[in-house]
Structure 1
């Protein structure tokens, strides 16, 4: 907790962004928009985002806003552009975003490899865009399908067993002093954004064309490929994690389910195993 409060002089703008995400999740659209505008204004004044970055975000959100009203070739072109825009933001390819490096080459434990944590400004914008483009992801809840949900949940501990057998992780209990910052960043800036994009948006869109199996497989593989910078093994692990989360979303049609599964997996990884891997 002490570490979290010590970072507030530089991290407080992200609390506005997180509150905007929460408001959007509970369908308080007006409040979410107002908070997002406030966050972007603060980011501009404080130099966290340049005018170029704000224009890029605005253009993406405008395209996303009009997409549900389009069909045919125009809809296909619009979704293609939006996906490319989302991938560019997720890969930090667009200029003008000064993502804060909050943790630099830290170790969760003496047996864990070092890693760096940034508080991203660009990637969370994807969350708001896909909500506009595919609003049904928040209002399509169904009676829970127990078997696919159970299968998805079983994949998560199975991944740790696989990781242990391959030496990708080792059991190592730890609770670093920056755990709360990690939780907020991972839950809202990573898991919520990624699940909204890969499950709520891509899996839903692909399923509408290729069916349930096609949507699950394609979205899971794309999620894995998004982690290609970590090497082929990480692509495989991420694809299986994506499949588990995808089953959770298919079984419930509630976005918070795959978000909770994704975050729970990452938090368990941090607290009970070497994170992100052994030295």
Structure 2
């Protein structure tokens, strides 16, 4: 039975009231307030069920693909440009984080999320592969160890042999790849400058940087007379330092860089695409621009 609660006209009013009372007494209708309450509840439930369907379509379409890359500090400038060009070409954002390769490896072991890891030596990459954090890796570029002095060169250093004098030397700590290469190079140079040369030079170390950028900064700021860095980092100083080549083509060491995809990556497809971009002629051109050498 349909009841018009809004109608209130003349002779029909009494008839409507009588019919309503009969229906009420027979239990065939509910109170007007309860009836409206049921309708409101139904509308609320319908709305709650519909909202997720509407919003899910909106958020998914606007989401930007991205990958996280942990890379050695010496790769900073090169990877920043690689990331920019990669995004422009594939519309995939690269979120890089730079530090010493050893620091990044520790971060990964402690649960830091990343899709790609790029190390300045083979050791830390191999350790992560053995522990199951990285699937596999590939060597993708090389660098060279050099000695840098401030542009004004107050200690008048012209060769690595001058480091035997009482100078202020800064190097990276022994856990960082460039620090490892530095100590190995000095030991190799014992064969040229005589036994004990390495120990004599290391006795003049006044500070140890946490990465190669820290070493370069101290030399640029005239806080040290000399420091060992990569040739690529010396290039980024934009003429604020002088470069002194080491005998034996970098002291007999050849820094090699490795890159790989982490097993925990949630976007391995784009991570692989980024590595392939680095290995492409376009990517190698950018690496060369920043002083890196092609991997043989």
TM bin, normalised by shorter chain, reads under 0.3
- TM-score, scaled relative to structure 1: 0.22
**More helix as a share of residues:** 1
**More strand as a share of residues:** 2
CA radius of gyration, larger in: 2
Relative contact order, higher structure (CA 8 A, sep 6+): 2
